[in-house]
Structure 1
Amino acid sequence: TQRWQETRILVDMISFKISKMHLYADAPVAAVNQFNKHMTVTRRIAEDRGLGRDHFKHLTWEMRQYRLFGELVEIALKNGFKLPITATVQAPSGGGTAVDPDSLLQHPGFYYHAAAMCVARRRRSFMRAEKDHTAAMMAPADQVARFVSVLDPAFAEALDVERGVDHSAMAIELLTKSYEQFKRFRNVRMTLYLASEIATEYFEAAKYDMAIKFFDRIAKTYRKERWYTVLQSILSRSLECSRPLSMWDKAVEYLVELLSDRIPSSEKDRMAYQRELFEILRVVFRYGTTFSGVAAPLQVTLATTASAPMLPIQIDSLRINFNSLRHGYRFDHDTDGASKPEAPIALSDSTSLQLIDCTDAKKTNVAEPVDGPETVWTKQVDLSITRGLTKVFEGIVVPTQQDELSVVSMEAVLRFPAWEITMQLKPDYEAPRRWVLPSERAKNALHRFIALDGSTDRTILRVMRRQPKFEVQIEHPQPAYLDEYYPLTIKLINSETDNINATFSAEMKMIGATELDDMLTLDPTSNTGGHILKQMNAGTIEAGQTATRTLYMRATRVVGERSVQLRVRYQLASHENNYEKGISTIVDVVQPFETSFEAFPLRQQIGYGEDDDAVLLKREEINMLVVRICSCGPWDVEVEQMSLELKKPPNDEATATKLISASTSGEHFAAQVWTKEQVVQANYLLQMSTPNTPFALPVADVGPLVLKWKRASTGSASPSYPCFSSILVPSVELDEREVSVVAEHPPFASAHEPFTLTYRVRNPTARLEELSASMETADGFVFAGMRQVMFRVMPMSCYRLRYNLYPLRTGRLKLPRLRLQCVREVTREIKVLGQDGSVDGMTLFVMPAKSADDQ
């Protein structure tokens, strides 16, 4: 149930934190005891709720717990934690101490391996559940009651989720982590065992090429150390991997070694290995085996017997038929003698031998073959036969796919004015196994024949599938910048004599995480692509040529290593076989820029209502935002544009921002190249306005700083394309509102005439302010009023202090100073502003007193 899942998540988190705190406290025994206790208690609860410990859902939970605990121990080791050597307890009989396995904290590889074993059990449990579910769906109606739990919709939903899980990939990842940890702690035997487990997982996932690499690596060690029992199991699995890959040379090696006396095999197994070996090693033609697309030499001998007619026989056409309709030879008689054949050479047994070179026969594709070959080699040769003459026709066969070729028949055609006779000639498979050399390669007539190696007749050519001579390379100038279109140059090298058509698929992953904003594209100007590209056409690569294709990757948001995996699917233009090659590369992504921001408030203006004593909640503040950008990467960059994109207020209570001026706008900024470690400064004058509401937030979200730039030099022939980097500007906090005091007085005064000095105290905050004021004396003035006074100013209101001043003399005199202090929590002094904006030390010009005549 959902409640049980939430409870288990909470319990898991609490147990994990307890173990973590124990490790912090350097108490490994307590940490592992807590983990074991949590696993035991949760298993018991799961069994009580009907979810057995072998259920795939429970095993999923166990796998996560072992993996998390292994990661916790790994992090602790990286931060200086040391594993204890042993943990001893007193034996029950009092006869000494012993190691308690449950209280011994292992290194992370142990827990990763336990998690991998949970994945294996999870897969077996899922397969049993899948089998039960299938049986339940096919069960008769009277037996449905036996499968009530299996037919539960929740169980069916869990099966659907489990079908989408790649168990092999998960197990390989955990086993690889465990292998690295055991290798770090130098557990050699355990690393070999884990490598074998990884190979087995690849085998069960049908990734035979990876499995055979691991098996071969492990077999070297066990072969060297003479662990033949283990070696037998590894060789058997390697043999099973070589069959679907058509790696017959490898299969022969494995079979020969399995037949050796060192390998403890039963007689039945040895007979099976021997039969398979002889099937693979059945010799044919000159070399016995060849690869698809590779020419195989062929000789067909046409010999006359001692009882042949004395007169020469002229064969008009000779056809050689294979068991495959893809191949065939057709020789026509050369009536004009243009072929200039080699003259027959007399042999020691009163016979003669003539070798006819047909390796230069013309290849012809039959458009609509009817009960005949699709491809034939044709040539005009001398087909006249006399007694005692042996003609040897030497040609080649170029198979296009995996097959077993053999000559099944030959047809000699004799044409007459009214007749056409076709004689079926059956090949003699018991003829001596020899190969005829051309005259220029033989010392004399006695050396015209060489014996073929092997033990059987070469009547069958075993064609094995061969990967064409085609290489894929990826070149790129490390490292890549964040947000840039980084070029990956794909080199497709065709070393074949035939054209190759290729397509490729690419996938980019972030190592250790998934970043969905990363992108691969072939055209950065179209802004199309994704982290996976499928079946992109690479075109035709001419024979013996190298073609280059450029793939662009764009990594965003997070720096770190990216893995780009490329799968190239290709085929020879003249063949139908499809081949695949995979290659991967690691790209290190770094930050192109480092930025720092600093805001300097210039002035603040508080809003007032129609009444001078009313203070509004709205206020404005001018800030100078200073941005410093350092080009921290190893490559020079060309910056075309830099602008501050202001963010609109999300609601009515947010602070609005307005750009007054910028040092990077218009003529102030031109495209420029930033070199390594160059620092550039930009200034932005911002006006920030808060709304007239008590809930206004005194924080302004400015928006991102956007740079349009490109790498000045890509380090390759691929062009660079402009990209955009968006750098988040931190929020700017407005200065806190404070009590302000402004002195108000007439512009001038007359001696011996009193005037009023008013101090307007405004409280723009939302709190009650308690103030203390004291008036100091000044030369030239006497005043009437409270020398010291305590008063309170209500929130969002104004308070007036009035003093009557009497000038005693003329001239510019300094007014008495008012000392105003806030005594709310910490006593602090408030500056008094004059009408002219001066701070303290205000002066006033006193004129002479007016005479009676002036009045």
Structure 2
Amino acid sequence: MAASQWELPPELCCRPMAFVALTGLDVVYNAVHRAIWDAFCANRRADRVPISFKVLPGDHEYPKCRTKRTSYEWYIPKGILKTGWMNKHLNLVPALVVLFYELDWDDPQWKEKQSECATKVEIVRTSLQGRNTKVAVVLIQKKTPLPPGEDLVASERAAALCTACDLSGKSLFVLPHTDHLVGYIIRLENAFYEHAQTYYYTEIRRVKSHKEFLNKTTHQLLFVRHQFKIGFFSELKQDTQNALKYYRTAYSLVHELRAHETNMLEIKTLAGFINYKICRLCFQHNTPLDAIAQFRKHIDQCKKKIGSAELAFEHAAWMSKQFQSFGELFDEAIKLGLTAIQTQNPGFYYQQAACYSQDRKQQALTLCQVSAGASYPSPDPLDTQSGGLDFYGQRHWRQGHQSKDGDPGPADEGERRSSLGRELIIALLSNAVAQFKKYKCPRMKSHLMVQMGEEYYHAKDYTKALKLLDYVMCDYRTERWWALLTAILTTALRCAFLMASVKDYTVYCMELLGRASTLKDEHKARIEKNLLRVLQVGVAVRPADRGAATRLPLTPVQCKGRFQSPSFHVDQPILLQVFLRADCPQPVAFSKLAVSLSNQEYNQWCVAEASGSDSMTLLPGKTRSFSFSFVAKTEDVGKKIEVTGVELMLGAAAGRCVFLSWRGAGGDAASAHEALQASRSSRRWGRGLEARQEPSWDSLSLQPSTMIISRVPRISVQLSHQPPALTNELYRIGISVRSEEDATARDVTLTAGLKPGQDAGLSQTTQVTLDGSVVCDDSCPSLIPDIPLGTLEPGQRLDRCVYVTCVSTGPRVFLFHVAYSVDTSVDGRRIVCRCHKDETVTIETVVPFEVSVKFVSTKFEPLDRVAVDVPFLLMTDVQSSSPWPLLLSSSSLTLLAMSSTSAQLQSQVQDVVLETGECASECFSLRCPAHNSSSNAVATGQYLISWRRYRADSPLIQTTVTLPHVILEPVPVYIHADLPSFGRVRESLPVRYHIENRTALVQEVEMAVEPSDAFMFSGLKQPQGRQLDDASIAAA
């Protein structure tokens, strides 16, 4: 069969819709008729009934109906399904013919027009002679009709018109041409759809009625044909569930047919058609699993129905089309809302279709080689007088004679001539790639792109082939599929050679010579020789014409660069080594080696070029090293120098040359196992002592960067201090700097203070100063930078002091950074080096003393409340917690809401020296006057202590202790007694009691004295009286 024959008929692939013919409309010259036609066919939404409309003339000739067969006894069918049957019922034989006629109910020429309308209806019926097609009449009227029953004239004339035209009342319609034309049209469509449903139902019953005349011996083909027709009519009737049922029955029957070589193609063709219908309806019913199961069943049943061995290529083409059609159905269902997954998407079916197309191509090529000397017969056996096939799936020379045996030679010869195209394979692979890309299957996408590239290569479209292969190679390099990469590179190398692309050819040669390549040594040797020939012949390429770089994972030359140390002092030469190793089967000669560094000013010192006596050749499997040395600049101190690239030039600058470039310090992506395999496969070039002393390539590590650090300082820095530091004291730290340089140290500076990077709170509670005579305040910084110290001669010593105040306790790290400049020589070059030395010290800060405060009565009894205007005692205890003796210079009391009972407060701890653990106490007599505040708690004041370390020359530090609040308790009556300091036995002891009224009211006072066994009393025992406000009574 011709290649176009494999395309599914368009009438099979489209959605079957009821066919309604419209007559009597002049859509060209009549504007009203044109508006009616546009309302039928323009902007049809999905919610409108599925009808296919076509405007036909009134005398249109419809296909003639064949004479009805009354018996099938001697009838032998010539095929299963005629090629024009589906198209006939979709586009030629209407289910309903609608006659449009302009006629109003009140038309003055009613009788004449009625007769004319009846005549036109009769013409339509005559042209449909023998068909069950329905006929309807639509009257186009200018006026809007009245509701049914109200217009008696319209009712009478409608009945008369139906009688004249032999129509039922349901077949006569009125279409007013008003502003609401679309609404009337939609109502007409629904009525037309009901008539079409009735017609297709009648056709289904007509086909079913033939079953009783058939027998399974001679009419097997008719059983399949009738079930297919019923299913197709059910689709036209939009009864898709029953259509699916009849199609499944037809599919089962078609596989029950007796198959032989002469009808194998017809059986497979009809099976493919019915399978397409079943799968399409399953997707339409949103049952994709049923569609997939049906397709798999279809493939399993048909994949072995090959027929003649010489027609195997034809079977492969048919299988390809089955997969392609199902992939298209699957893709269409996805666009309509179906969800697919990675493991089940249309890409797999497009891929399988492409595989069968490739098999078809290979089998056709094999047949063409066998019959290369044969000539195509003349006249052409495929040329028929009819110009087409009567039945689907039949041969041109065997139409209607399926039992006739014949030589298939001319058919397969014609097919062979048309099967060598590769466009179909490439299109299928392209569809599969798009699907796998959509569902994120990168490896499947890469695999199919390789196949596309190979198809383009066989089609001699080398540009597209190379573009696809080059794109895929990046993925295979990243994932280290070395065997696959080698195969792709081999094809790409052929493309580059056939395109005469020197750049691409060179790049692919270099990669195939690398360790990633799995080619044998003899193949690599041939590629290397060809590459050398390319490099030795030709005109030199100008620098401006240098091609774009291509990154290869494993080149034929391995490179490792390393600095000899992770860091170098600025007064030392920087040493850099580059190791090269060739994995080619032949020696590799190069002419230039250049190393690029992050600071391009050093690149000029890292270049090696071949001279006349010095041969720069790499032997296979041997490691060769190149050393470079340069002096760093002083401004690069503290910076990192990195190897950004290594470039090796193969060939001569006067001819063609290849630049091998490595990012960074080289290295590659090969594993240790692959490196071992490559070293075993390379040739041995010397096994003497020198070979044994050669460093192992795998043991060489990369050192792509080095740090330039400052010159080692030759000065000593010593610190002297007495830890721990005390809170708030001016802590003295002595710094002694001594020069051990051979030259004068200039611009000596000192940075002293809290080391950066510690807790942020420490910088807020630490002050540093150079003045030891004044206590630090909040304006002093925590770090003083760049304190100038002048110049230091060799052996000279310099002393300075720094004072630190720590407000809070805890450890602190202090930094003392001494920097200076000195002249030195490196490799004969005079440079000025900036050197520095850091000293750090951790100092613990402790509290110098603890202060405790308590309130007691005049009898030294603890008080939790204080009576108003009653004397009490404030006692303070200062206990030393310092490891060093403390001198308490003085103390003072600052009162807020209280007053002292004495005229002047005197410090009781003045000039007291406290050792560790000793305590100094003071006692103050206080009185709290009456307070107007509503709060009972009253602030006492502050206790100030001036102190410093004993025998230290630092200034005094004043520590302020906030005294606790006291709770006041008002006393309405205050009683106190005057007692002598001592008494004698049997002598009188005068005791005087004072009772004081503290309120604003007059108080009645009654006092009772209780006797005691140790005393005898005289005087009033129960005195009484009235006490005025703010007055006192004395009783003796």
More helix by share: 2
Asked if Structure 1 and Structure 2 have the same fold, meaning a TM-score greater than 0.5 normalized by the shorter chain, the answer is no
Q: TM-score, normalised by structure 1?
A: 0.32
More strand by share: 1
